[in-house]
Chains A and B, each alone.
Chain A
């Protein structure tokens, strides 16, 4: 069981991150942002950045930090507030989301923003980068750091994910954790209809991974899964709700990438504040 202080901290961070996601999206005006798959990842990111992550806020290149790779780069909208929660980037920077010349663009890039290990945006690349990073940590005999790669379930359509999955197991990378945000919806609709990759559990198992299935919005379950040790690469299949926390966005594929009207904004804030009570 995770300690109650940490659980509380992660739950509170989740609320703030969710609110930040809405504010940042609203600030983009008609441009919009990747709401659905960012809202589904809030607890997964909060439990890392306000929970189990090894890092030093003022020392982003600290050798013994955990390496976090957001392979589903479009969830940058959730990542930036999580980084701000951890003090890795200043909160004030969140207001620059998607603005011209901003360090916090629609996808993370290596532009000097602390806490970003790799640029992402082109799906299916992060797990290979994670394998290379995990191998490098082994070469350096760094036994403290772990590599955590966040993938989308739609992203798992990419064949390169499975090239990487096979190699992680081949190299016995017990310092590598993949977290799949199983929100069950991709750009064009339900994953079962667009490209059905089920059963994911046995797929990862057959690739030699240790598989844990959790409720991706349950902070205790997430923290437990993050703290588990394994003698092989681990994948956490986190069952989540796309658009989690906003009633009309939940399980609605139209909010994969969308903007928010003024009226919707008021409704969302009311919903989020109700949840806070």
Chain B
């Protein structure tokens, strides 16, 4: 059994999301006989070389062929296996979108699709490799569960958890190597149930993925400004934890969403669409990518360019509250 102790958590953070993916995959390969893995020439990049070395017969590398990746996974899923397919997030939601739509959404085959370097994880390679619309695409497809883990530990929990559900699932992995740690020790993770990490009374930041950490930091900064913030880790973007969103809306003056993703169609949209239907929404401040591709560059550069920093979250909230 994988142990969520401080040493492991530190190690996973050092390895980054792909390393965490490798650890989770190896755990599943050892414990679940039905799980098989697929990749499109990203065996090493995805961390799956650990599976390849230990269980070579459980890994299918289909080469640079993302459409085939999903189709082959569908065949394995239909026959009772649990295929976990890996490729860049940008390719998951665009290159093979029709295969995802037909096999995962329409047929509900229990394929688990891991989107590597979601957001700016591979932004140094330019806009072809950044993924700022994958939540929008996956969220619009019926039947697909969409998860954006907050850190490496949560990535491991999400990947191992999704193998035990019958749902087609998309997991987007955000964050750099040396991933900031949100969870320093073990905790209860349940798909579809958000986690309240901080409790405040003025502002509630609903965040997913890498932005959970930055939201906590922003909340800490804001406390010095006299603003009291709640922070919710909305790791499952779909289906949305609506109870938590209603409670957040009822108990705070301002809702903020934070995501390493476009504000068109991502977590902001999910939350705003839900609250607007309830007829009870207050102003929502979206922190996310403003409908543009930033120039290629380092992860930190692209995050700064997009305002995805704790300081910018603070400033945006102060401006909104006219403090």
Contacts and interface: CB of A to CB of B under 8 A. Distances in A.
Partners in one complex: yes
Given A140-B79, A167-B63, A125 B106 contact: no
Contact of A160 (B71, B74, B79): B71
Contact-size category for A: 20 to 34
Contact of A134 (B62, B63, B75): B75
A132 B75 contact: yes
B313 interface: no
A195 B75 CA distance: 29
Given A136-B81, A167-B63, A131 B107 contact: no
Q: State the majority secondary structure of interface residues on B.
A: helix
Given A127-B71, A131-B75, A136-B76, A109 B106 contact: yes
A125 to B, nearest CB: 6
Contacts of A117: 78
Interface stretch (B46-54, B96-104, B156-164, B193-201): B96-104
Contact of B71 (A125, A136, A137, A140): A125
Contacts of B103: 118, 125, 129
A130 interface: yes
Contact-size category for B: 20 to 34
B68 A164 contact: yes
A224 interface: no
A167 B68 contact: yes
Interface string B50-85: 000000000010110101101111111111110100
Given A132-B72, A163-B68, A167-B63, A137 B79 contact: yes
A128 interface: yes
Contacts of A118: 74, 78, 103, 107
Contacts of A109: 106
Contact of B75 (A119, A128, A140, A166): A128
A129 B78 contact: yes
Interface in A167-223: 167, 170-171
A129 B73 CA distance: 7
B65 A133 contact: no
Interface string B99-137: 101110011100000000000000000000000000000
B72 A131 contact: yes
Nearest to A109: B106
A118 B111 CA distance: 14
Nearest to B38: A132
Interface of A: 109-110, 117-119, 121-122, 124-125, 127-137, 139-140, 159-160, 163-164, 166-167, 170-171
Interface of B: 36, 60, 62-63, 65, 67-68, 70-81, 83, 98-99, 101-103, 106-108
Given A117-B78, A125-B71, A131-B75, 15 more contacts: A110-B108, A118-B103, A119-B102, A119-B106, A129-B75, A132-B72, A132-B74, A132-B75, A132-B83, A135-B72, A136-B75, A136-B76, A160-B71, A163-B63, A167-B72
23 contacts: A110-B107, A124-B67, A129-B72, A131-B68, A131-B71, A131-B75, A132-B71, A132-B74, A132-B79, A133-B78, A135-B72, A135-B76, A136-B78, A139-B36, A139-B79, A139-B81, A160-B71, A163-B63, A163-B68, A167-B62, A167-B63, A167-B65, A167-B68
